[in-house]
Structure 1
């Protein structure tokens, strides 16, 4: 009998060896930053599906361009202000000597793409004037990076909402055997709902492993027949505006993927987002997923390589769905 993939020992994206994650929070402002740090300069790409994204360095990861790799990825609250978190990470990494060295004696140039979510409407104090906290939070999240990290209301998930309930940061992994591992790190702040209409289960429930997000199951009599629930409360909360909500994150694998193959990985991972959030990829969302490949595990050549890439993409999609539900579940637990 075929042995099914299982979560890695942490059930976190850091089960992909060579990756670390750190959070930094500003509880007074109700916002935070989460940074994924690469121990190497790994091939990477990105796929943006939402209609209101806030991003940095995405074109740097395009397969037709020169670099196509990343030293870190920053996920932040704060909408456009949160993009400054990547400035902090860039400065701190450069001070450590991490980055491209184009000329002897010149500063190292780290490649740090980023995506942000909108949490400016939450109750936190956003009267920061000319000194938003995000550059400082970016540096602090880098300092905090390690193999273990909190889920739920932490880092970029601190001020997140998932529809009308708390959102949060989640993660999940799958060990596919033979050194091949896939994982996801997701911050869930969507307009759409992560819960079934009866409120008993997450939309991602078919992909749950070992009760990782509560084991809830929907009422079989309640179907998914209403594609966009009519709920005026979202409009009253100001979340039905371009860029007012989003789900952002990173999927990763140990496979030796090219930058172009990382793009396919990110594209497939968005299927997991659509399984876990209903509806997803709306004009109001900024749904963005990065993909990183550490290159530690060869997946061969030719047709066999394409088949293995497809399997990794499918695993990454499942990890994405599970990570979204885990993040919200942990946030609701408080």
Structure 2
């Protein structure tokens, strides 16, 4: 791969990493949806869960002590536990395409499709689905839409999301490290914490912003010291968000390096720091914060040793920065009127 200039990739999306595609399906009546990251074949993968109320599927298949440690697709969904059915649809559709593990000649292909869900059941959408939640269908629809470009903001798994007291959504970013390595992040932002500083204009992630990707706002000189970690807790309680599992940030970080499952795990762990940079507070008992990491293997890091470990640390640090940027972009694109109004006032 040719040397690239440091900075965001051409799309500033996770799909700047060759081979990756993202598809989304949004149900406006439901106020929910599904987002799918698709890989061309099984990629090395791992997951790190830090929130106190996660909802996941097949994460144990990625555990380092287990057999496979790879994924063909990763599903992010609204719908809480009902949204886990989206992975059923994706797995069935991939198998029908012949994508997956072949354990015996003539047997169906078995795709590896880990998934994680966020809670958006109390957002006013039509959730009266009876015995047939729509997420399996939405998973298939999202897979059918998979491609290099996709919308940020209130789409897919981010349609019904909230970030503190304002809408959350889908965000993404990428970073070219200048030597052929590329890192990207995809996030469905639904945290109990806020992405905004107390001035309600500046993102916590502002030091990591590149090319004005979420408004280029900077904290003013009059910003007071921060003493209350959750200043709007009474309003959050009134909205039912201070309940176990009611809030979750789901994320995927990806790179084009030849990482093992254990190395992907380290990158996922480091990437969690991106949530702490972009949201305050993060990883609460009420969140289900979950970060997947995948690696395509196109770029060799070299043999085992200290030089390789330095590169892995570099990738993990870049993944954390990308995740912080992606989360801010999710909130920025989910609230266009709010931030356009701020820009007009500032001008």
TM-score, length basis structure 1: 0.98
Name the counterpart of 2:117. 116
- SS for the counterpart of 1:289 is strand
The one-character-per-residue Cα deviations of 1:132-152 (angstroms, maximum 9, x if unpaired) are: 110000000000000000000
Residue matched to 1:299: 301
Separation in 2 of the partners of 1:72 and 1:37? 4
Given candidates 272, 275, 278, the residue that maps to 2:277 is 275
Report what 2:200 is aligned to: 199
3-state SS of 2:186 partner: strand
Aligned to 1:79: 80
1:324 aligned residue: 327
For residue 4 of structure 1, report the CA deviation from its aligned partner. 7.5
Alignment of 1:1-334 (within 5 A): 5-222=6-223, 223-301=225-303, 302-333=305-336
* Deviation readout 1:190-209 (Å, 9 max, x if unpaired): 00000000112110011001
Aligned to 2:340: none
Secondary structure (helix, strand or coil) at the match of 1:249 reads: strand
Do the aligned residues in 1 keep the contact of 2:72 with 2:100 (CA within 8 Å)? yes
Count matched residues.
332
1:225 Cα deviation from its structure 2 partner? 3.2
Question: Partner of 1:233: helix, strand, or coil?
Answer: helix
Structure 2 contact 41–99 (Cα < 8 Å) conserved: no
Instruction: State how far apart, in whole Å, the 2-side matches of 1:220 and 1:48 are.
Output: 37
Could you tell me how far 1:230 is from its partner in structure 2?
4.5
- CA distances 1:40-92 after superposition (whole Å, capped 9, x unpaired): 21000000000000000111001111000000000000000000000000000
Q: Structure 1: how far apart are the matches of 2:201 and 2:144? A: 38
Would the aligned equivalents of 1:200 and 1:219 in 2 still touch at CA under 8 Å?
no
Across the aligned residues of Structure 1 and Structure 2, the Cα RMSD in angstroms comes to: 1.1
Conserved? CA contact 2:89–2:137, under 8 Å: yes
Unmatched tracts of structure 1, length 5 or more: none
Between 285-294 and 174-183, the greater mean CA deviation after superposition: 174-183
Structure 2: unaligned runs, 5 residues or longer: 338-347
Task: Tell me the CA shift for residue 183 of structure 1.
Answer: 0.3
Partner Cα distance (2:235, 2:227) in 1: 20
Deviations 1:147-201 (A, max 9, x none): 0000001100011000000100000000012220000000100000000001121
Following the alignment from structure 2 to structure 1, what is the Cα–Cα distance between the partners of residues 289 and 15?
Answer: 22
TM-score with structure 2 length normalisation? 0.94
List structure 1 segments (4+ residues) > 4 angstroms apart after TM superposition.
none
